[in-house]
Chains A and B, each alone.
Chain A
Amino acid sequence: MENDVLKNIITVLLPNAVYEEEGEWLNVNVEPADWLSFAKQLRNNDVLHLDQLFCLTCIDWKTHLTVVYHLSSTTYHHNIVVKVKLDKSKPEIETVSQIWPTAEFHEREVYEMFGVKFLNHPDLRLLILPDGWEGKNPMLKDFEDPINMIKL
């Protein structure tokens, strides 16, 4: 499906979505409060049918964090990117692990690496970092580890 067709459908579902169209795929910016209901619609809408969450990640923009969801449809083979901007002092967003179970692992990774708290996540624990990890989240830009980090 073409990006402008997708855009028309999404505008009906979420009128206050903001779009970026420079990239290859349609980028949709969503408010954190809208995200959970919007995610359900993306998954369950018969025309969109975005059933595959193939990438979930986060970007530290120093002033704020952006959680990025890459979604595609295994039936119609179209892709969209959803971005949710979070406040850096209190990064919180609803989990989507009940919609796409793969998010359970990905969200745990974002939680430990960026400190984003996923509300109502069934099991929000550290995934990759060792148990009892204390201190900052390693993927944040201001993270420093004088012992283990090698500066190139």
Chain B
Amino acid sequence: MVEEIGTTTEGDLIINVGPQHPATHGVLHLVITLNGETIKKIEPHLGYIHRSIEKMCESLTYRQFIYVTSRMDYLSAHINNHACALCVEKGMQIEVPARAEVIRVLMDELTRIASHELWWGAMAMDLGAFTPFFHAFREREAINEIMEETCGARLTMNYMVPGGVMQDLHPDFQRKVKEFIILFKRKIDEYDELVTGNIIFQNRMKGIGYISPEDAIAYGCSGPVLRGSGVSCDVRKIYPYGIYGQLNFEEVLETAGDSFARYMIRIREMKQSIRIIEQLIDNIPEGDFVAKTKAVLKLPKGEFYTRVETARGEFGVYIVSEGGTTPYRIKFRSPGFSNLSALDHMARGSKLGDLVAMMGTLDLVIPDIDR
């Protein structure tokens, strides 16, 4: 008897994964309807760490609200900050100095590598391999040290402000980044040997969690999830912001649409990030690191939207201003929220054991979803 996927009938088993399951990478709760081992339906339950950041932003000034966005997607804090700073700059029409633009892109790309490193380690751990986690954290530590010196924080950095960056680079920055590039180029090949080519790993990823390009677009997926289905969607290429339009890098695309494609996207994307950093690290222009702005910013009446490419996909900031010092309404379009909505569609008909591979390659960060 063929049972219809997506409906609950008598005899189905309903299990809960999370809210604290290690494979959910945070406080995500999935209610899964199973027929035997086959997934019939997944209902994500969110909100365990909802802090109503958007509401909070309504009482914060345009300088202050940027800080809370680091607490959303803490793994790509810089890129979130960049989006907010860009949105305020768009409203105020602030010119950003060339030095700040270069520093911002360097920080964004280092963040992207750090985020993908953590994902890679955690992903391999989800599938039962523990060693990659240590490898990934060792390399990520080098980035964290660079961040700590310049930004004073290792995770929730608040470095980008409207008009530029908060302070100048640490004197050791260039040397340390160059050391990191040499280290990373050697290690990324090791990653491929350790995990990518492993037959057990490949069997657990290939053909798992397939999503077609049309469905991925319809579910609002972005970033590596959408590009894994072969849809060109890199915001850095399509709607360039900052100095991305002048840089030389490829948009990474895979066409298989399965977990392995999404895995390969992130591995290849790290190499592109290194390429961007290499182009810029010796050419940081001299000059101001921040434009002169007023202490309290007032955005003109209107609506402003900016989108950037974070490690997880497209992050959007929508500011509705009534002309005051605080925003009237702010909406954060977080990539994880839309990517998660595709999980049910991806997982229907698969085996429960494959769910961790699917969740792993979605690269969910829960505060980003809950906000």
Interface residues of A (CB under 8 A from B): 22-25, 27, 51-55, 57, 59-60, 68, 70, 74, 77, 81, 100-102, 104-106, 127-130, 138-139, 143, 151-152
Which 9 A-B pairs have CB atoms at the shortest separation, nearest pair first? A102-B220, A128-B47, A57-B331, A105-B341, A55-B333, A128-B50, A59-B329, A152-B59, A102-B219
Q: Which of B59, B220, B302, B329 has the most CB of A within 10 A?
A: B220
> Is A100 within 8 A of B222, CB to CB?
no
Contacts of A130 in B (CB 8 A): 47
CA distance A79 to B160 in the complex (A): 27
- Whether A100 touches B238, Cβ cut-off 8 Å, given contacts A74-B231, A74-B233, is no
> Is A54 within 8 A of B47, CB to CB?
no
How many Å from the CB of A124 to the closest CB on chain B? 14
> Is B329 within 8 A of A102, CB to CB?
no
CA distance A102 to B216 in the complex (A): 9
A127 touches which of B46, B54, B303 (Cβ 8 Å): B46
> Is B218 within 8 A of A100, CB to CB?
yes
> Is B55 within 8 A of A139, CB to CB?
yes
8 contacts between A and B (CB under 8 A): A25-B305, A51-B218, A55-B305, A70-B316, A70-B318, A77-B239, A105-B341, A139-B52
> Is B303 within 8 A of A105, CB to CB?
no
Interface of B is mostly: mixed
CA distance A81 to B333 in the complex (A): 14
Contacts of A23 in B (CB 8 A): 302-305
How many Å from the CB of B240 to the closest CB on chain A? 12
> Is B329 within 8 A of A60, CB to CB?
yes
Interface string of B194-233 (1 = CB under 8 A from A): 0000000000000000000011011110100000000111
Contacts of A151 in B (CB 8 A): 59
> Is A128 within 8 A of B302, CB to CB?
no
Please tell me if B83 contacts chain A, counting CB pairs below 8 Å. Answer: no
CA distance A83 to B151 in the complex (A): 40
Contacts of A55 in B (CB 8 A): 305, 316, 318, 331, 333
Contacts of A24 in B (CB 8 A): 90, 304-305
Contacts of A100 in B (CB 8 A): 218, 220
4 additional contacts (CB under 8 A) given A51-B214, A102-B218, A106-B337: A54-B333, A101-B215, A128-B46, A129-B47
Contacts of A53 in B (CB 8 A): 220
How many Å from the CB of B99 to the closest CB on chain A? 26
Interface residues of B (CB under 8 A from A): 46-47, 50, 52, 54-56, 59-60, 90, 214-215, 217-220, 222, 231-233, 238-239, 302-305, 307, 314, 316, 318, 320, 328-329, 331, 333, 337-338, 340-341, 345, 370
In chain B, what residue has the closest Cβ to A143? B55
In chain A, what residue has the closest Cβ to B60? A152
> Is A54 within 8 A of B54, CB to CB?
no
CA distance A130 to B320 in the complex (A): 28
> Is A77 within 8 A of B238, CB to CB?
yes
Contacts of A70 in B (CB 8 A): 305, 316, 318, 333
CA distance A49 to B105 in the complex (A): 32
> Is A54 within 8 A of B219, CB to CB?
no
How many Å from the CB of A129 to the closest CB on chain B? 6
B314 touches which of A51, A54, A81 (Cβ 8 Å): A54
Contacts of A81 in B (CB 8 A): 303, 305
- Whether A54 touches B316, Cβ cut-off 8 Å, given contacts A22-B302, A102-B338, is yes
Contacts of B331 in A (CB 8 A): 55, 57
How many Å from the CB of B8 to the closest CB on chain A? 13
CA distance A46 to B174 in the complex (A): 50
> Is A105 within 8 A of B337, CB to CB?
yes
CA distance A17 to B305 in the complex (A): 22
Contacts of B52 in A (CB 8 A): 138-139
> Is B341 within 8 A of A104, CB to CB?
yes
CA distance A129 to B46 in the complex (A): 8
Q: Which of A52, A77, A106 has the most CB of B within 10 A?
A: A52
CA distance A25 to B306 in the complex (A): 11
CA distance A24 to B90 in the complex (A): 10
CA distance A25 to B220 in the complex (A): 19
CA distance A106 to B371 in the complex (A): 13
> Is A57 within 8 A of B220, CB to CB?
no
> Is A57 within 8 A of B318, CB to CB?
yes
Contacts of B303 in A (CB 8 A): 23, 27, 81
Contacts of A105 in B (CB 8 A): 337-338, 340-341
